[in-house]
């Protein structure tokens, strides 16, 4: 078979595909509906100034709340822990000092005090 302009008369250039019944009518309606939905959602996007800044205000309030609770509850307990740690370290240091003194030096110290 030769494919040229004459062959189009022979074979035809009709596209051999069909569609479901009423496909094109339904297709237009479907797209129209989708565009309607898009337009509706675009209208929802037209928010007032307060509605636009609302999420940022809430976010800022959340951070402030977080800061206040940290400074009220978490910070003192950290400070308390630090103090306890310092006391423990001091006690260890004193104990180490006592360990370093040998028996003779202790005897000398006690007898000097007496």
Partner 1 sequence: MKEIIEESEILAMLASEQTKRKAFSWIMKTYQQKMYYHIRKMLINHDDTDDVLQNTFLKAWLHIASFRGESSLSTWLYRIATNETLDFLRSKKQTNEYVDIEDTLALSLQDTSYFSGNEIELKLQKAILLLPEKQRLVFNMKYFDDITYEQMSEILETSVGALKASYHLATKKIEKLILLMD
Q: According to CB under 8 A, which residues from 23 to 82 bind partner 1? A: 23-24, 27-28, 30-32, 34-35
Q: Which stretch binds partner 1 (CB under 8 A): 18-26, 54-62, 79-87, 98-106?
A: 18-26
Q: For residue 109, what are the contacts with CB-CB under 8 A and spacing of at least 6?
A: 101
Q: Which stretch binds partner 1 (CB under 8 A): 12-20, 47-55, 66-74, 95-103?
A: 12-20
How far is it, in rounded angstroms, from Cα 100 to Cα 103? 10
How far is it, in rounded angstroms, from Cα 56 to Cα 54? 5
Q: How many CA atoms lie within 13 A of 88 on its CB side?
A: 6
How far is it, in rounded angstroms, from Cα 93 to Cα 87? 10
12 binds partner 1 (CB under 8 A): yes
We find the least distance from the C-beta atom of residue 21 to partner 1, in angstroms, to be: 11
DSSP conformation class of 95: H
Contact residue for partner 1 among 6, 9, 15, 50 (CB under 8 A) = 15
Footprint of partner 1 (CB under 8 A): 1-4, 8, 11-20, 23-24, 27-28, 30-32, 34-35
């Amino acid at each position: 078979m030769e494919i040229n302009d004459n062959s189009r008369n022979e074979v035809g250039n009709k596209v051999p595909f069909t569609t479901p019944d009423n496909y094109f009518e339904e297709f237009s309606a479907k797209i129209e509906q989708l565009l309607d939905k898009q337009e509706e959602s675009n209208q929802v996007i037209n928010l007032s100034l307060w509605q636009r800044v609302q999420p940022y205000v809430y976010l800022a309030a959340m951070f402030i709340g977080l800061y206040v609770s940290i400074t009220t509850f978490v910070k003192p307990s950290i400070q308390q822990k630090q103090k306890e740690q310092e006391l423990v370290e001091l006690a260890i240091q004193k104990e180490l000092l006592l360990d370093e003194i040998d028996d003779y030096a202790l005897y000398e110290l006690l007898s000097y005090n007496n």
